[in-house]
Amino acid sequence: MSGTPLVRVAALRKYFAVKGGWLGGRRGQVHAVDDVSFDVASGETLGLVGESGCGKSTLARCIVRLVEPDQGKLEFDGEDITHRPTRSLRPLRRQIQLIFQDPFASLNPRKRISQILGAALDLRDASVSRGDRQAEIARLLERVGLAPQFMDRRPRELSGGQRQRVGIARALAVGPRLIVADEPVSALDVSVQADILNLLKDLQAELGLTVIFISHDLGVIRHVSDRVGVMYLGRLVELAPADQFYAAPLHPYSEALLSAIPMPDPDAHLTRKEIVLEGDIPSPLAPPKGCRFHTRCPYAQALCAGSEPKLSTQAGGRLVACHFPLAKQESTGR
Partner 1 sequence: MSGALIDIRNLTVRLSGGRDAVLVDDVSFAVGKGEVLCIVGESGCGKTVTARSIIGLTRHDPRFSLSGEIHFDGRDLMRLGADELRQVQGAGIAMIFQDPMTSLNPLHRIGRQIGEVLTLHGKHSSAEIRRRTIELLRQVGIPNPETRIDDYPHQFSGGMRQRAMIAMALACSPSLLIADEPTTALDVTTQKQILTLIKKLKVDYGMGLILITHDLGIVAEIADRVMVMYAGRCVEIGAVRALFRTPQHPYTAGLLASIPAANRVRGERLPSIRGVPPILSEGRPQGCAFLPRCDFALGQCRNLPPLRASGTDTDHLDRCWLSPEVKNQTLRRLQEGAEA
Give residue 39's region: left, alpha or beta (phi > 0; psi -120 to 50): beta
Residue 243, interface with partner 1 (CB under 8 A)? yes
Could you give the CA distance from residue 31 to residue 13 in angstroms, rounded to a whole number? 8
User: Smallest distance from the beta carbon of 98 to partner 1, in angstroms?
Assistant: 22
Q: Using an 8 Å Cβ cutoff, are 46 and 38 in contact?
A: yes
Using the contact rule CB under 8 A, the part of the chain among 57-65, 128-136, 265-273, 312-320 near partner 1 is 265-273
Nearer residue to partner 1 within complex by CB, 51 or 136: 51
Nearer residue to partner 1 within complex by CB, 198 or 307: 198
Q: Using an 8 Å Cβ cutoff, are 16 and 87 in contact?
A: no
Residue 21, interface with partner 1 (CB under 8 A)? no
Of positions 17, 18, 66, 268, contacts partner 1 by CB under 8 A: 268
Nearer residue to partner 1 within complex by CB, 193 or 210: 193
Strands 235-241 and 79-80: unpaired
Using the contact rule CB under 8 A, the part of the chain among 5-13, 35-43, 184-192, 304-312 near partner 1 is 184-192
φ, ψ of residue 107 in degrees (nearest 5): -115, 135
Return the amino acid letter for 294: H
Q: Using an 8 Å Cβ cutoff, are 235 and 36 in contact?
A: yes
**Which residues lie closer than 8 Å to 9 by C-beta, 6 or more apart?**
36, 37, 38, 39, 59, 63, 72, 73, 74, 75
Nearer residue to partner 1 within complex by CB, 82 or 101: 101
Using the contact rule CB under 8 A, the part of the chain among 77-85, 124-132, 273-281, 306-314 near partner 1 is 273-281
Residue 149, interface with partner 1 (CB under 8 A)? no
Of positions 84, 111, 124, 216, contacts partner 1 by CB under 8 A: 216
| CA neighbor of 144 nearest in space, from 188, 206, 209, 199 | 199
Residues in 39-68 at the binding interface with partner 1, rule: CB under 8 A: 51-52
Residue 256, interface with partner 1 (CB under 8 A)? yes
Torsion of CA 164, 166, 167, 172, to 10 degrees: 130
Nearer residue to partner 1 within complex by CB, 132 or 243: 243
User: Smallest distance from the beta carbon of 262 to partner 1, in angstroms?
Assistant: 3
Residue 222, interface with partner 1 (CB under 8 A)? yes
User: Smallest distance from the beta carbon of 333 to partner 1, in angstroms?
Assistant: 25
Of positions 152, 157, 189, 330, contacts partner 1 by CB under 8 A: 189
Residue 144, interface with partner 1 (CB under 8 A)? no
**Which residues lie closer than 8 Å to 68 by C-beta, 6 or more apart?**
62, 82, 83
Of positions 114, 225, 254, 295, contacts partner 1 by CB under 8 A: 225
Nearer residue to partner 1 within complex by CB, 4 or 198: 198
For partner 1, the binding residues (CB under 8 A) are 51-52, 159, 161-162, 189-195, 197-198, 201, 216-220, 222-225, 242-243, 246, 256-269, 275-277, 279-281
